């Protein structure tokens, strides 16, 4: 089914599909990186957890009317997706202060925002994915003003849908990163992955961090935490 490796990123490989140029295979790796690749490790099982968690999230979002590139899981570590051309923007939605915003703006971790913040980062590893404003986003990507607004509104809708989804499994959605792509018709759809690599999730009862911060901050066993998330999601299916 897989034809050739199209691209290898830090956490996934992307393959073309034989005889179907509108689909791609995403293969989730066990590699974890942080701080733009400065910290690296390999965690047996991580690829499987992210593949299955991301699939569960995209399936739920689709049931909620939020379309994405996700089509189906193929096996433990691979999924079939609609081919899109990724828009070079990382869209971060924040409900509670954590991570880079605490360092950049001196906001104390755990400070809730009165309404969700949407931020754009320019997806460029060499530049370290810098924070940009709307005007920069229009300059650096091929989106129109209307499409940028559409991307913001879609990101806020994903936030609205994912908050109760995670609350049901005892997790608070602190923040997350989304990527969007353009499909063959030119439509902008949600792409990439949504997983504990790309979200901050805190246990509602204990406050424990249950996402990639476990690795970034050296808090414990990353795979154990990802396993708990998948088990909780499977339990409410």
Query: Contact positions toward ligand TMP, by CB under 6 A?
Result: 92, 99-101, 129, 175-177, 198-200
**Residue 59 engages ligand ASP in binding (rule: CB under 6 A):** no
Closest approach of ligand ASP to the CB of residue 84, in Å: 21
Q: Which does 182 bind (CB under 5 to 8 A by kind): ligand ASP, ligand TMP, none?
A: none
Distance CA 33, CA 53 (A): 19
Q: Which does 37 bind (CB under 5 to 8 A by kind): ligand ASP, ligand TMP, none?
A: ligand ASP
Residues of span 198-237 touching ligand ASP by CB under 6 A: 212, 216
Region for 117 from its dihedrals, namely left if φ exceeds 0, alpha if ψ lies in -120 to 50, beta otherwise: beta
DSSP code of 190? E
Distance CA 19, CA 196 (A): 33
Residue tagged 């295979």 (tokens): 25
* Helix-strand-coil split of the chain, %, nearest 5: 30, 35, 30
Closest approach of ligand TMP to the CB of residue 52, in Å: 18
Q: Which does 10 bind (CB under 5 to 8 A by kind): ligand TMP, ligand ASP, none?
A: ligand ASP
3-state DSSP assignment of residue 92: strand
- How many helices and strands in the chain, by DSSP H and E? 6, 14
**Residue 130 engages ligand ASP in binding (rule: CB under 6 A):** no
Cβ proximity to ligand TMP: between 79 and 198 the closer is 198
Distance CA 5, CA 78 (A): 13
Q: Which listed range, 14-22, 30-38, 46-54, 225-233, lies at the site for ligand ASP (CB under 6 A)?
A: 30-38
**Residue 34 engages ligand ASP in binding (rule: CB under 6 A):** yes
Tell me which residues touch ligand ASP (CB under 6 A): 10, 33-37, 212, 216
């Amino acid at each position: 089914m897989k034809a050739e490796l199209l691209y290898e990123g830090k956490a996934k490989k992307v393959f073309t599909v034989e005889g179907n140029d509108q689909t791609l295979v995403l293969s989730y790796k066990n590699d974890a990186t942080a701080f733009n690749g400065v910290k690296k490790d390999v965690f047996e099982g991580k690829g499987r957890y992210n593949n299955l968690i991301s699939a569960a999230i995209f399936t739920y979002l689709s049931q909620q009317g939020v379309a994405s590139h996700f089509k189906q899981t193929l096996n433990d570590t691979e999924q079939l997706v609609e081919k899109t051309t990724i828009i070079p923007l990382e869209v971060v939605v924040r409900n509670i202060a954590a991570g880079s915003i605490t360092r950049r703006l001196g906001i104390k971790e755990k400070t809730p925002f009165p309404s969700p913040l949407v931020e754009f980062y320019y997806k460029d590893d060499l530049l370290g994915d810098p924070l940009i404003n709307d005007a920069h986003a229009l300059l650096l990507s091929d989106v129109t003003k209307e499409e940028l607004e559409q991307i913001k509104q879609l990101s806020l809708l994903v936030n609205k849908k994912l908050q109760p989804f995670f609350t049901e499994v005892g997790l608070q959605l602190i923040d997350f990163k989304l990527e969007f792509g353009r499909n063959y018709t030119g439509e902008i759809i949600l792409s990439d992955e949504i997983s504990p690599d790309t979200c901050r999730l805190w246990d509602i009862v204990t406050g424990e961090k249950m996402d990639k911060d476990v690795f970034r901050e050296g808090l414990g066993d990353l795979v154990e935490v990802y396993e708990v998330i998948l088990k909780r999601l499977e339990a409410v299916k």
